[in-house]
Homo-oligomer: A and B are copies of this chain.
Amino acid sequence: MIEADAVSLRRRVYEQLEPSCRSSGLSPVNRLIVVAILAITFIAIVDTEPLVQVRYGAAIGAAEIGFGLFFLTEYLARLWVAVENPVFGSGLRGRLRFMVSPGGLIDLVAVVVTLAPFIAGNALALRVFRLLRILTLARLGRMSSAMRHLTEAVSSRRYELTLTVVLALGVMVVGASALWLAEGEAQPDKFGSIPRSLWWAVVTLTTIGYGDVFPVTPIGKVFAGLVAVAGIGLISLPTGILAAAFSDAVQREREGR
């Protein structure tokens, strides 16, 4: 009788934790988890700012422990109810399968990086460690359908996307080579080799144009103008294809509902 109650409780907890159990929207528990993920990400972002660290360091540390315990509880609950998920199967095996599944590993990493912020010793390790905390955002992927739509969009047009991305890279290499030829002598530190010119090609063909590198000789300007006018059209091909594919993927699902 008690066992039956435990099973029924486990079933209800599972239904609260597993987004795919609901046809649309998120359960109250999952909404709370989304809020917690956004909050810990926000904290992880502002915590990198030295001015904030000095002033609110203690409060942030306390909040991190609080959120860490919350995520630990969530992880243990997910581990407990994993056997309800037909994907993992029953028994200890099901729980082990959950632990080594991509979702389970991300959940575990999220717990560890939130609870143990003082492990890392030197500055670079600390930075990487903090970055991992921001990647907790990836947990949102499981909650939403955006990732699925994007994956679907990419895979449905992977042929066009591959072709246009290769074409765009080819345009960048050819453009960088042209400027290396034209400007290499005049600005050896900026255009003295093709790898150096590639930075110019990226900044120009994406139309960012920081202004740290640009041609100064007349022939370099003519080449740059031709590369820019001809290349920007080719560079924007993958973007346009991706946008159309994403729109289609969402549309298809809506009609399928």
Contacts and interface: CB of A to CB of B under 8 A. Distances in A.
Interface of A: 41, 44-46, 48-50, 52, 123, 127-128, 131, 134-135, 137, 140, 144-146, 149-150, 159-160, 163-164, 166-168, 170, 173-174, 177, 180-181, 184-185, 192-196, 198-199, 202-204, 206-212, 214, 221, 224-225, 228-229, 232-234, 236-244, 246-247, 250
A47 B212 CA distance: 24
Contact of A181 (B127, B159, B180): B127
Contacts of A208: 204, 207-209, 228
Contacts of A199: 221, 225
A47 B78 CA distance: 53
Given A128-B181, A166-B146, A181-B128, A243 B236 contact: yes
Copies of chain A in the complex: 4
A239 B239 CA distance: 12
Given A45-B195, A225-B202, A159 B211 contact: no
Contacts of A184: 127
Contact of A247 (B160, B204, B209): B160
B247 A244 contact: yes
A46 B176 CA distance: 12
B239 A193 contact: no
A237 B193 CA distance: 34
Q: For chain A, what secondary structure do more than half of its interface residues adopt (helix, strand, loop), or is it mixed?
A: helix
B232 A243 contact: no
Contact of A192 (B50, B237, B239): B50
Contacts of A198: 45, 225
22 contacts: A41-B173, A44-B194, A45-B194, A45-B198, A46-B194, A48-B195, A49-B196, A128-B181, A134-B173, A137-B174, A144-B166, A149-B163, A164-B246, A199-B221, A203-B209, A206-B229, A208-B208, A210-B210, A233-B238, A237-B243, A240-B243, A241-B247
Contacts of A240: 240, 243-244, 247
Contacts of A46: 194-195
Contacts of A140: 166, 170
